[in-house]
Structure 1
Amino acid sequence: MTHALIIGGTRFIGRHTVEEFLDAGYDVTIFNRGNHENPFADHDRVDHVEGDRTNEAELRRAGLDLDPDIVIDCVAYYPRDVHTATDIFSDVDAYVYISSGASYDEETIPKREGETALCECSAEDAIDDSMETYGPRKAEGDRAVFAAANRGVNAMAVRPPVVYGPHDYTERFDYWIDRVDNHDRIVVPGDGTNLWHLVSGKDVASALRTVAEKGEAGEAYNVGDDHAPVLGEWVDHIADACDTDIETVFASARELGAVDVSLDDFPIYRGYPHLLDTNKLRSLGWESTPHEEALAETVADHRDSERTGRENGPERDTEERLMEVLETVA
């Protein structure tokens, strides 16, 4: 039996990661501050060690006490977090850092590991906590992984784009499920062809295990759905998963402006396509879950939760006013 330490592990991607390693026969220890309910509290193969990963002494003590074989770092948001972890866990069989597709600086289609330029990260960026510096901080974490590999650490990175699925506390995808599940007509920004590559949390977790077991030190691996639907297709897929029929109303930037709404006010809208090349990960034997299966689980979890995602997009009454305006113009 192999021991995996998950830094994080109780909320979204971390929760899926614990389940992935358990299903693969690992014993698992979760290391976090204990600020959120632990869904594995009663599981006989999951231990919990309370500690703050930004406190080096606490993380180092956990490393010495636990002596894990594999470490999955779900909550490294600053470059110093990665530098510290790769030092503490320098002798593990694999250290895998969750980076992000946001670490890429170039707008190319698709974005490829080792070819597409990464964001630069200033000293000020490295300690900032705003969304504007998220990509640069994740990119600098990647560089920390590369530097650790050069020192002989079996460290790797996995770069997901926007993640959806059960337990998604960001509620970005919940916005669209809520709209489709509760209304016959919904507004989709633009012409519905904008592309933002997505991936299910379950598939990020399987990618993390695949990379831990088969990846190469110093490498980064993009992860994303094998097929990347545009937003209009996602809405149709969600309608199928909800077993409902909807009318999609597409609205241009000018039309949205009539009710003081912009294209970017809608979740998962991106003006320039964001697509990750996933061939490198798939060469290790990884495959994504079919959309029908992933969305069935996502919709079921959404319905069982109190999440609506409504705060992530325009209010429903604004949407209805827009549709009235469009009908009047037509």
Structure 2
Amino acid sequence: MQTTRRNLFKLGALAAASTALPSLAMAAGEATVERAAKPLRILILGGTGFTGPFQVRYALARGHKVTLFNRGRSPSPEWDDEVEQLHGDRNTGDLKALEGREWDVCIDNPTSLPFWVRDAGRVLKGRVGHYLFVSTISVYADGSRPGITEDAPLAPYGGRDAMAETRETLIADMGNLYGPLKALSEAEARKQFGANTTIVRPGYIVGPRDQTDRFTYWPHRIAQGGDILVPGDGTDPVQIIDGRDLGEWMIRLAENGTTGTFNACGPDYTLTTDAMVHGCHAVTGGPASFTHVPADFLESQEVGFPIWVSRRHPQFGGYGAVSNARAIEAGLTFRPLATTVADLLEWFRSLPPERQARLEAGPSREQEARILQAWKARAGG
């Protein structure tokens, strides 16, 4: 059971959140990108989704040559003639466009299936010097305790043949297959590319271009004002990473030839739920109040709140406090929360009105109001 707290946040909580955030003036600027000491030939598998475009922009700014390989269903005219585009379909094993080519680095963004890695290895083995695979913290067998390190046991696969799993079977049983298949994809990457493999395990990736709306829910809802439901008692840890920080760091890993396994979670301090919502409010402004609702009561309402996980959850309580020490030592840096929130809102508000009205995550305003009313009635508030 978590401590119940029905009153609005104390001024001390707001002050604590503010100290964790640089000023908005500092957050507004972007640092000048310097050219890399040695230009690389970089192959990006995918590259047009969420983080891929950030990798491409940063790589180009650093002076690298970039090739994208994907199905060609999400064109990126912003690249003009700066990026080579190769098309194929990893679902069907069509990698002909990659045959006979060589690159210094391959970044594999979209893979969740081991046979995708196997097939890529058959074509690229010996033809790329460094393979970087984007995995997930969902590979861990036990997410209940904080401080999960890269050496923790991985989720076992319970199916018959991992190489026979397809996009369709994964989607049909995402809850049981996603983590184990990612773990087996990591193992296949090491099998195919050996010591030249880098495994990057992000948690929640947020910021501009995020179509999941998992973090977007919070600044969007807080900007609307009114009485806002905050799950838990405000002290649960939250971990997020801006997609730009993740994408740019991966290019730097490639430049440095850094191998190994890394939890790509942020920030580099303990971000609580209180600090997150007040950090969003510091950007959005406007009248807003916040009401905490205990985790056990929310469970009875059967409505989920994105990003937040109770630290007392028996299965996932550690996912808000995964160890990122190894990644930080390898050069992972983080934008201020204020920058992520401001840029995310600017991007989200540029979307069509009908898209803004239909968030992919979080409760509706009606659901939130119903839960708040039920909680206040129970608590006598």
2:220 to 151, 172, 178: 178
Tell me the alpha carbon deviations over residues 86-124 of structure 1, each in whole angstroms, 9 at most, x when there is no partner: 3322221211110001111123321111x2111112344
Q: Which residue of 2 aligns with 1:144?
A: 188
Say yes or no: does 1:33 pair with 2:74: no
Deviations 1:223-259 (A, max 9, x none): 12222412232111111122334211111245446xx
After superposition, give the CA deviation of every residue in 1:136-194 in whole Å (9 maximum; x if it has no partner).
111111111232344x6x22211100100110011111211221111222111121333
Q: Which residue does the alignment assign to 1:224? A: 265
On the 8 A contact 1:10/1:39 being kept in 2, the answer is no
Change (3 A) 1:309 1:224: farther
Whether the 8 Å CA contact 1:121–1:137 is kept in 2: the answer is yes
Aligned positions, number:
320
CA contact (8 A) 2:225 2:287 kept: no
The 3 A distance-change label for structure 1 pair 116 and 215 is: farther
Q: Is the 8 A contact 2:200 2:264 kept in 1?
A: yes
Aligned to 2:318: 273
TM-aligned CA deviation for residue 19 of structure 1: 1.6
- The equivalent of 2:278 in structure 1 is 236
- Tell me if 1:93 matches 2:135: no
Q: Secondary structure at the match of 1:310?
A: coil
Q: Give structure 1 regions of 4+ aligned residues with deviation exceeding 4 angstroms.
A: none
SS at match of 2:211: coil
What secondary structure does 1:312 align onto? coil
Q: TM-score scaled to structure 1, two decimals?
A: 0.88
> How far has the Cα of 1:68 moved from its partner?
2.2
After TM superposition, the structure 1 stretch with the greater mean CA deviation from structure 2, 96-105 or 306-315, is 306-315
Q: Kindly indicate whether residue 335 of structure 2 is the aligned counterpart of residue 289 of structure 1.
A: yes
Q: Does 1:135 align with 2:179?
A: yes
Separation in 1 of the partners of 2:297 and 2:200? 39
1:45 partnered with 2:82: yes
1:81 equivalent in alignment to 2:124: no
Q: Percent identity?
A: 27
For 2:88 and 2:50, locate their aligned partners in 1 and report how far apart those are by CA, in whole Å.
Answer: 19
Alpha-carbon deviations, 1:33-65, whole Å to 9, x = none? 12224243x522112222112333x32x22225
1:206-227 CA-to-partner distances (Å, cap 9, x unmatched) read 221122233444x211112222
CA distance in 2, matches of 1:188, 1:73: 36
Judge conservation of contact 1:16–1:205 (CA < 8 Å) in 2.
yes
Contact preservation (8 Å) 1:207, 1:281: no
* Alignment check: 8 A CA contact 2:219 2:341 kept: no
Question: Which secondary structure state, in structure 1, belongs to the residue aligned with residue 344 of structure 2?
Answer: helix
Q: Distance in 1 between matches of 2:324 and 2:214?
A: 23
Other-structure match for 1:110: 147
Q: Confirm or deny: 8 A CA contact 1:142 1:220 kept in the other structure.
A: no
Residue number in structure 2 paired with 1:120: 156
For 2:356 and 2:257, the matched residues in 1 are separated by 36
Q: Which has the higher contact order (CA 8 A, sep 6+)?
A: 2
Q: Do the aligned partners of 2:203 and 2:240 also contact (CA within 8 Å) in 1?
A: yes
Q: Structure 2: which 5+ residue stretches go unaligned? A: 1-38
Q: Which amino acid letter does the alignment assign opposite residue 34 of structure 1?
A: G
**CA separation of 1:38/1:2 partners in 2, compared to 1, >3 Å: closer, same or farther?**
same
Which residue in 1 is equivalent to 2:199?
157
Q: Which residue in the other structure is 1:300 paired with?
A: 346
| TM-score, scaled relative to structure 2 | 0.77
Moved more, 317-326 or 169-178: 317-326
Tell whether the 8 Å contact from 1:7 to 1:75 is kept in structure 2 after alignment.
Answer: yes
Partners of 1:21 and 1:209 within 8 A in 2: yes
C-alpha RMSD of the superposition: 2.3
State the AA in 2 paired with 1:288.
F
Stretch of structure 1 that moved more, 201-210 or 62-71: 62-71
- Judging changes above 3 Å, is the alpha-carbon distance between structure 1 residues 9 and 149 closer, same or farther for their aligned structure 2 residues? closer
